[in-house]
Amino acid sequence: MAEPILATRGLIKRFGGLVATDQIDLDVAAGSVHALIGPNGAGKTTLIGQLSGEIRPDSGSIRLEGRDITAAPVHKRCRLGLARSFQITSIFPDFTARENVAMAVQSRLGHSFRFWRRAKSDPARTGPADALLAEVGLEDRGNMPAAALSHGEHRQLEIAMALATAPRLLLLDEPMAGMGVEESVRMVETLQRLKGRISILLVEHDMDAVFALADRITVLVYGRAIATGTPAEIRANQEVRAAYLGADEEEG
């Protein structure tokens, strides 16, 4: 198999006595959509946090395209091609939607020690930002304060911000949580369009979406990866059925 875009080995994170991620070995194949499922409290967000660099693992290693990034800070990982969306919406609420995306565009236009030129009307920022807003269906929301957008639009906006950093791998933490049916369908469409172009690690409770999108699935329970395989394999796995799929109606 070709080199995975992301590979973790033995990732352990403890919170006091609780082992939130326990010896996680995860390989995400380049170009694939890899879903991470598991009940609430399984450690999915903690794992994403370690991958994106906000949480330091107690031990273990993380490689992105073969390069060890275990100790790299958040912004560096982003620069190397790792972008994320947060489980709880995280945007710049007092900026416009366009400015939210433009900030992410700006981050890959080199350093920001530029003190004099007016930035808001700079086409190098706004051009790509508008294109990305259109890509996620927010083209008519550009001038609205981000705080005024709906929940579903916030999630789309986060995707646009992540895409603006030109990622090689997207980490999406429950992008459909709290969405209505229509919004969910739209998000699945958006991700479908990205599939193949960008590798995606998708944390999601919506099983229809997971089985529709994922090439491979890893099941996390109590911090352990109990199974990894194709959707068909996971569906057939007895242990998974017992531990998780049998009671998959949890929300959160």
Partner 1 sequence: MRVTPRLVVYGLFMLALAMVPTLAQVLAEPFLVTLFTRMIILAVAAVSLNLILGYGGMVSFGHAVYLGIGGYTVGILAEHGTTNGFVQWPLAIGISALYATVVGAICLRTRGVYFIMITLAFAQLVYFVGVGLYAYGGDDGLTIYTRSDFAGLIRMSHKPSFYYLCFAILCIEILIIHRIVHSRFGLVIRASKSNDRRANAIGIPTFRYRLAAFVIAGSFCGLAGAMLATQADYISPAVMHWTRSGDLIVSVVLGGMGSLFGPAVGTIVFLLLEEVLSSLTEYWQLVFGPMLLLLVLFAKRGIDGLLPGGDRG
Ligand X SMILES: Nc1ncnc2c1ncn2[C@@H]1O[C@H](COP(=O)(O)OP(=O)(O)O)[C@@H](O)[C@H]1O
Q: Which stretches of the chain bind partner 1, using CB under 8 A? A: 52, 54, 73-76, 78-79, 83-84, 86, 90-95, 99, 103-104, 106-108, 112-120, 122, 125, 161-162, 164-165
Rg (CA), the chain: 18
In the numeric block, the tokens 């390989």 are attached to 27
When the beta carbons of 42 and 201 are compared against ligand X, the nearer one is 42
Instruction: Give min distance, CB of 46 to ligand X, in A.
Output: 3
When the beta carbons of 114 and 193 are compared against partner 1, the nearer one is 114
What is the Cα–Cα distance from 71 to 52, expressed in whole angstroms? Answer: 11
Instruction: Give min distance, CB of 43 to ligand X, in A.
Output: 4
When the beta carbons of 96 and 184 are compared against partner 1, the nearer one is 96
Q: Select the binding partner of residue 4 from partner 1, Mg ion, ligand X, none (C-beta < 5 to 8 A, by kind).
A: none
When the beta carbons of 19 and 144 are compared against ligand X, the nearer one is 19
- By CB under 6 A, name the binding residues for ligand X: 15, 18, 20, 38, 40-46
Q: Select the binding partner of residue 116 from ligand X, Mg ion, partner 1, none (C-beta < 5 to 8 A, by kind).
A: partner 1
Instruction: Give min distance, CB of 184 to Mg ion, in A.
Output: 18
When the beta carbons of 40 and 90 are compared against partner 1, the nearer one is 90
Amino acid sitting at position 106 = Q
Q: Select the binding partner of residue 43 from Mg ion, partner 1, ligand X, none (C-beta < 5 to 8 A, by kind).
A: ligand X
What is the Cα–Cα distance from 134 to 163, expressed in whole angstroms? Answer: 12
Instruction: Give min distance, CB of 13 to Mg ion, in A.
Output: 13
- By CB under 5 A, name the binding residues for Mg ion: 44-45, 87
When the beta carbons of 56 and 76 are compared against partner 1, the nearer one is 76
Question: Whose CA is closest to 71, among 86, 56, 91?
Answer: 56
Diameter of the chain by CA atoms? Answer: 62
What is the Cα–Cα distance from 114 to 122, expressed in whole angstroms? Answer: 12
**Neighbour-count burial of 167, counting CB atoms closer than 10 A to its CB (0-12 exposed, 13-18 middle, 19+ buried):** buried
Instruction: Give min distance, CB of 113 to partner 1, in A.
Output: 6
What is the Cα–Cα distance from 33 to 17, expressed in whole angstroms? Answer: 33
Q: b or e along 196-228 (b: 16 or more beta carbons within 10 Å of the residue's beta carbon)?
A: eebbbbbbbbbbebbeebbbbbbbbbbbbbbbb
